[in-house]
């Protein structure tokens, strides 16, 4: 749920807990909206635009009269308001969280949302927020790749885009996965403009296939919001239920959430239940309540699914229990515990990397190798848990590959939105990390590590950071091992 709207106003976390008590809600995720609204007109009507913590958001009521989105409406809205990324929201919410009692803190799972997805250094910001806040984070998201009006009201030239600017976001996803946190993504499956809909070929299906196929995303639990990108405007895309089923078979890292009452009223309970009953571990409940003023708003999505003949009545007992409780515990609550381990054992050794202005980028493959070595030394039990999880993920990928080999790739048209992913040397390296031994080197300028590959005596240099050549320190190399910063 989102405690605040697009003007960053809404109920306090304490008030959210009180409302949760009223509807018997055990735990919930607090996701602050990371986009702020700003008026482009200074007359009385738009000088202080309403954030619209309800059905109309920050938009004119006229946009909703026929429930149809058009280019003309978008252009008119762009004349009046725009959105911008607010990266401060996570610090603000963390400070509020830390003022709660321990029992109150346990009710809430905090999410990191204030990240610019198109920024090549977004993962630096992610790690810095984990390092600087005493509050534990349980996941990243809901972050927005594509959403009806939002994508038009943000300065989109620098935003992450499935077709032309997705690499920084893939790197962010991989780094999030290193910490053990899941990521919740909002990406509309199709355009909301009726005249631009191509039946059978939803706009963003191929892009999401490419994203999920990228080797950088395969080890991160990705939760696709709103039953795979159903939006406020428009209906269910053609073949949507079939596509969701096919995506779940092909991408074991993918989960689907059922949040938003607007989505709940559009879904076919029988078709949704059939998929959930087949994949009971892959779905998670949500509300998507935006700055809820009372419990009726907070419980609205649940009420739709719980009505006579609704979705809940068609689920098996196992599937319903996992949807409402167990999957939350194994994904969100476990993400919280994973984040604590990462902050305790790994982040202290990354301090100099995060603060060094000469570092252009962190290299996931080297960082992962060093991280596993640190866990092996400092927390052997957790290290072995990670090794078991890597094995399980590897087996799941193997099963998915077998399915793809037998059934072919899922693609909505002959025009793929991006090139086919290539399994890189770095990715192959990551898959052989079990049993790896790492020997630190002392040349701080290179920021690399000598890694002995299992079963060989050959040393392979794997860098954990990329530095700007002109700013790389010169002179006598530091005697300090590069990953012991």
Q: Rg of the Cα trace of the chain? A: 23
pLDDT of residue 265: 96
Residue range 192-216: average pLDDT?
94
Terminal-residue alpha carbon distance, the chain: 37
User: Binning pLDDT at 50, 70 and 90, where does residue 421 land?
Assistant: very low
Paired tokens of 215: 């080797």
Lowest-pLDDT range, 32-36, 204-208, 322-326, 421-425?
421-425
Alpha carbon distance 248, 252 (integer Å)? 6
Give the span between the Cα atoms of 97 and 112, in whole angstroms.
13
Encode pLDDT of 138-152 as tens digits: 999 999 999 988 888
- Cβ-in-10-Å burial (0-12, 13-18, 19+) of 83 comes to buried
Closest-CA residue to 154 (of 45, 37, 41): 37
State pLDDT tens for residues 229-238. Answer: 999 888 899 9
Pairing state between β 465-467 and 254-257: unpaired
Residue 332's CB is within 10 A of a number of other CB atoms, namely 22
Q: pLDDT value at position 467?
A: 66
Q: What is the pLDDT of residue 404?
A: 93
| Structural domains of the chain sorted by starting position, each given as residue range(s) with its CATH number in brackets | 13-338 (3.20.20.140)
Distance separating alpha carbons of residues 180 and 122, to the nearest angstrom: 17
Mean pLDDT, all residues of the chain = 84
Instruction: Provide the token pair at 149.
Output: 């009006």
Q: What are phi and psi of 354, to 5 degrees?
A: -70, -30
pLDDT at 445: 34
Q: How confident is residue 413, by pLDDT bands cut at 50, 70 and 90? A: low
361 vs 70: which has the higher pLDDT:
70
- Output 359 or 61, whichever has higher pLDDT: 359
Query: H or E element: which one contains 92?
Result: helix 89-98
Look at residue 42 and tell me whether its pLDDT is greater than 80: no
């Amino acid at each position: 749920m989102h405690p605040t709207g697009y003007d960053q106003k809404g109920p306090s976390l304490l008030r959210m807990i009180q409302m949760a008590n009223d509807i018997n809600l055990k735990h919930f995720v607090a996701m602050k909206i990371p986009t702020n609204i700003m008026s482009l007109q200074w007359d009385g009507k738009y000088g202080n635009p309403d954030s619209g913590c309800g059905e109309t958001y920050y938009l004119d009521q006229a946009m909703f009269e026929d429930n149809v989105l058009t280019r003309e409406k978008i252009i008119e809205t762009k004349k009046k308001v725009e959105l911008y990324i607010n990266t401060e929201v996570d610090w603000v919410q963390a400070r509020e969280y830390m003022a709660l009692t321990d029992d109150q803190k346990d009710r809430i799972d905090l999410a990191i949302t204030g990240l610019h997805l198109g920024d090549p250094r977004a993962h630096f910001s992610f790690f810095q927020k984990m390092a600087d806040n005493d509050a534990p984070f349980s996941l990243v998201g809901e972050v927005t790749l594509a959403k009806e009006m939002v994508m038009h009201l943000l300065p989109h030239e620098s935003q992450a885009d499935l077709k032309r600017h997705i690499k920084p976001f893939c790197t962010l996803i991989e780094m999030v996965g290193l910490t053990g946190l899941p990521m919740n993504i909002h990406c509309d499956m199709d355009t909301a403009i009726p005249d631009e809909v191509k039946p059978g070929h939803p706009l963003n299906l191929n892009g999401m296939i490419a994203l999920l196929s990228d080797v950088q995303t395969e080890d991160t639990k990705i939760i696709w919001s709103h039953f795979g990108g159903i939006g406020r405007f428009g209906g269910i895309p053609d073949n949507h239920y079939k596509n969701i089923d096919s995506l779940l078979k092909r991408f074991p890292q993918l989960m689907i959430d059922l949040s938003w009452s607007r989505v709940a009223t559009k879904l076919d309970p029988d078709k949704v239940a059939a998929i959930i009953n087949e994949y009971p571990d892959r779905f998670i409940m949500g509300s998507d309540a935006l700055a809820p003023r009372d419990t009726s708003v907070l419980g609205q999505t649940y009420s739709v699914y719980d009505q006579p003949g609704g979705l809940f009545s068609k689920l098996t007992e196992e599937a319903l229990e996992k949807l409402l409780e167990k999957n939350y515990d194994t994904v969100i609550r476990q993400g919280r515990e994973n984040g604590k381990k990462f902050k305790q054992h790994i982040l202290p050794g990354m301090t100099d990397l995060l603060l060094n202005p000469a570092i252009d980028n962190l290299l996931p493959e080297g960082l992962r190798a060093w991280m596993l070595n640190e866990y092996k030394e400092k927390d052997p039990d957790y290290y072995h848990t990670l090794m078991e999880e890597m094995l399980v993920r590897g087996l799941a990928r193997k099963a998915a590959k077998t399915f793809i080999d037998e059934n072919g790739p899922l693609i909505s048209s002959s025009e793929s939105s991006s090139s086919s992913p290539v399994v890189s040397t770095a990715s192959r390296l990551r898959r052989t990390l079990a049993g790896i031994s790492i020997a630190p080197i002392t040349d701080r300028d290179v920021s690399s590590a000598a890694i002995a590959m299992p079963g060989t005596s050959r040393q392979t240099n794997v860098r954990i950071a990329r530095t700007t050549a002109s700013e790389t320190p010169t002179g006598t190399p530091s005697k300090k091992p590069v990953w012991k910063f």
